[in-house]
Structure 1
Amino acid sequence: MTLVADLKNQKTVQFILHCFSLRPAAVLTLLLSVLVAAGCSFLGPELQASQGQIMGTWYHVKWSDEGLDADTEEVSSGILSKLQEVDLLMSTYKPESELSRFNQSEPDVWFALSKPTTEVFDIAHEVSQKSGGAFDVTVGKLVNMWGFGPQYKPTQVPSDQDIAKALSEVGFDVLELDTASQKIRKNTPVYVDLSAVAKGYAVDRVALYLESLGIKGYMVEVGGEVRTKGVKPDGSKWRIAVESPVVGERRVQDVLELEDMGMATSGDYRNFYEEGGIRYSHTIDPRTGRPIKHSLASVTVLDPSVGYADAWATAMMVLGEEQGFEVAVKQNMAVLFLVKDGSGFKELATPGFKKLTGMPKE
């Protein structure tokens, strides 16, 4: 409907002339009534949002409703459904989850997997190989032993003997994954923890759901792992903060403008405990069986797949700034390392990260 076309209609001309004989308030009321009745809107697309708790953390999703038939409630319900599916499959805190049932299954017996869990195992396997074993989802027993899992909290630091015993049951080589048939088996009792991939993968699942609805602009965040597509309704890019790894505080280190990109961050400044004046990080090196000890405070990885970015962020935290930077450059990855430097942090960015973001500024 256009005004030019309406002005050609004699009845419309008469209506407009009549409007000029009314008081301004009456004219405004009448025109608004006509616009509403005609279904016209000059507001344009709006930003919709949904949030909640899942997988032991919060999720936040925003999207543009441009050209979207589904309402906010329907989209929000679909988002929660996708997140709950991943949680029910891969949680180590739910005894009925697919992953928990695999952990409790007998060795040398093929175990049928769902497609999502197969895809997460596949990501984990690839990152494990490319990181030289720095990333390993079979590290679960060590995570529990050091007091960062669901099973038990230690009253003291594990002994060398306990660590050695747990290490004998750690290693991706104890798993045999058949991606084509969606099945897996283990040759020894093993405790798998997919948490370092699952949240990122959940972000990807929600993103694919939004795209299936025809949504062209969105931001999905689950526990700090983020994926964006397109732009906001006003045409501006999504601005995502990189947190400064300061213990006990919430500060922004950098702000990235992302478009069609995923981001995952891992650090040692939130989940840790101290014993005998020593700080023990929740990030366990599967090669040594011990919490990491280096100057890397946090690492941010950019990748279109948040599942991969999530896994690689953990791998980089294990490797540390020197080894991690070397591997990241070799793999042509976009990575930002925040390294402890006195009372502050030094930013170390790969060429890929600088190319995507223009940061850090020299």
Structure 2
Amino acid sequence: MSTESDIAALGGRTMGTRWSVKLSAPRSRDLHALHAGIEAELKRVVAQMSTWEDGSDISRYNRAAAGSWQVIPEDFWNVLVAAHDIARRSDGAFDPSVGPLVALWGFGAQAGAQRVPDAAQLAEVGSSCGWHKLQLDVQKQAVLQPGGLQLDLSAIAKGYGVDLVSRWLRRNGIAAALVEVGGELHGYGRKPDGHPWRVLVESAPEEGAGAHYPPRVLALDDLAVATSGDRWHHYEHDGVSYSHTLDPRTQAPVTRAAAAVTVIEREAMHADAWATALTVMGAQQGLAFAAEHGLAARFVSRGSNGLEESMTPAFQQYLDADRQ
């Protein structure tokens, strides 16, 4: 039986996007079993946290009676605890309860018409939102439904799916893999040639032609990276572009959003959520916040002279390390 390793590529669809895994495995390894195991991990995320599925655990919570405590499964709990923590630390720039406002502006699973809502609509829908309404019972692994609170974990669940798959692969003897779900990445281990997985940082739409800086490449040696920005979902109304990224503090889509915000973390779940939070904060405030809190973050913004790149010292260190 051959023990030589090759790089195999697997893929599929999940959470409204695509997943892919490159892994180093002996030529004798059953790739069908690995594919099935990866799919099972991702289906668990969907079954627990997809607002597109009426029967999911998050949908059941969103329909629960006011005043009831809902015991939730472990993966849902892990993500909700992380989301609540990042909401607190970001002072509400990240908020897992803004789903109804996102829908009101025309985005997400429950999207209405893509239009600018009036002040009365915003006040009515916004009154039921707010991360501070989340009450968690750690002992019982339960969350209170105060009445009308609608959770949406789409800005963190894909990253968690990446983490789940990476951990599952490790438990099943895969010593090196690069896992991606919808652009969120985690790489660990060494390829058969002895090198770590190297990835090009996801860019702004026009970055290749209009940038005054080189492409940024990262070595993912047990690291995760996520990118947020205005290239993915937006619409125009009366000449104004509205992004799918909502600022919970203003109850409106982010204006003058950075073209791309990239965050490096140990876990893709945290990279995913922080990329969203920093996008909401904006390039200036977000960069200052990230630097103060030791986050590895890169911003690409549109300035008067084209694209402008800025990054925290923590992000720069990863680029420096890759050049050594």
2:253 is aligned, of 288, 291, 297, to 291
Spell out the pairing of 1:149-188 with structure 2 (5 A cutoff): 149-154=108-113, 156-188=115-147
8 Å CA contact 2:217, 2:319 repeated in 1: no
Aligned to 2:11: 51
8 Å CA contact 1:349, 1:359 repeated in 2: no
Aligned to 2:40: 81
Aligned to 2:160: 201
Q: Which amino acid aligns with 1:356?
A: Y
Q: Deviations over 1:189-218 (max 9, x none)?
A: 111110001000000000000110122211
SS in 2 for 1:148: coil
SS in 2 for 1:358: helix
Aligned to 2:200: 241
SS in 1 for 2:43: helix
Q: Distance in 1 between matches of 2:272 and 2:10?
A: 22
Indicate how the Cα distance of structure 1 residues 248 and 277 shifts in structure 2: closer, same or farther if over 3 A, else same.
farther
Aligned to 1:126: 85
Aligned to 2:234: 272
Aligned to 1:231: 190
Q: Distance in 2 between matches of 1:247 and 1:118?
A: 39
Aligned to 1:21: none
Aligned to 1:35: none
8 Å CA contact 1:243, 1:250 repeated in 2: no
8 Å CA contact 2:107, 2:114 repeated in 1: no
Q: Distance in 1 between matches of 2:176 and 2:322?
A: 26
Worse-matched range after superposition: 76-85 or 293-302: 293-302
Q: Deviations over 1:324-362 (max 9, x none)?
A: 11211122111111111236321111011111222999x
Q: Which amino acid aligns with 2:42?
A: L
Aligned to 1:64: 24
Q: Distance in 2 between matches of 1:146 and 1:181?
A: 35
| Deviation of the 1:132 alpha carbon | 0.8
Q: Which amino acid aligns with 2:10?
A: S
Q: Deviations over 1:156-177 (max 9, x none)?
A: 3100121122221111121211
Query: Cα RMSD between the aligned structures?
Result: 2.2
Indicate how the Cα distance of structure 1 residues 246 and 342 shifts in structure 2: closer, same or farther if over 3 A, else same.
farther
SS in 2 for 1:245: coil
Runs of at least 5 residues in structure 2 that lack an aligned partner in the other structure: none
Worse-matched range after superposition: 229-238 or 69-78: 69-78
Q: Deviations over 1:40-97 (max 9, x none)?
A: x5x831111210001000000011115x975111111100100011011100111000
8 Å CA contact 1:174, 1:188 repeated in 2: no
The normalised TM-score by structure 2 is 0.93
| Deviation of the 1:124 alpha carbon | 0.2
Q: Which amino acid aligns with 1:154?
A: A
Spell out the pairing of 1:323-342 with structure 2 (5 A cutoff): 323-342=285-304
4+ residue segments displaced more than 3 Å: 247-253
Percent identity, please: 38
Structure 1 or 2, whichever has the larger Rg, is 1
SS in 2 for 1:287: coil
Spell out the pairing of 1:35-50 with structure 2 (5 A cutoff): 39=1, 44-50=4-10
Q: Distance in 2 between matches of 1:248 and 1:95?
A: 39
| Deviation of the 1:118 alpha carbon | 0.2
SS in 1 for 2:155: helix
Q: 1 or 2, which has the higher helix percentage?
A: 1
Q: Distance in 1 between matches of 2:18 and 2:209?
A: 16
Worse-matched range after superposition: 44-53 or 94-103: 44-53
Counterpart check, 1:263 vs 2:225: yes
| Deviation of the 1:186 alpha carbon | 2.4
Aligned to 1:317: 279
Aligned to 1:106: 65
8 Å CA contact 2:183, 2:226 repeated in 1: yes
Runs of at least 5 residues in structure 1 that lack an aligned partner in the other structure: 1-38
Q: Which amino acid aligns with 1:85?
A: R
Q: Distance in 2 between matches of 1:115 and 1:108?
A: 22
Q: Which amino acid aligns with 2:270?
A: Y
Indicate how the Cα distance of structure 1 residues 250 and 214 shifts in structure 2: closer, same or farther if over 3 A, else same.
farther
1:136 is aligned, of 77, 95, 100, to 95
Spell out the pairing of 1:212-231 with structure 2 (5 A cutoff): 212-231=171-190
Indicate how the Cα distance of structure 1 residues 295 and 101 shifts in structure 2: closer, same or farther if over 3 A, else same.
closer
Q: Distance in 1 between matches of 2:290 and 2:28?
A: 42
Indicate how the Cα distance of structure 1 residues 65 and 109 shifts in structure 2: closer, same or farther if over 3 A, else same.
same
SS in 2 for 1:300: strand
8 Å CA contact 1:201, 1:306 repeated in 2: yes
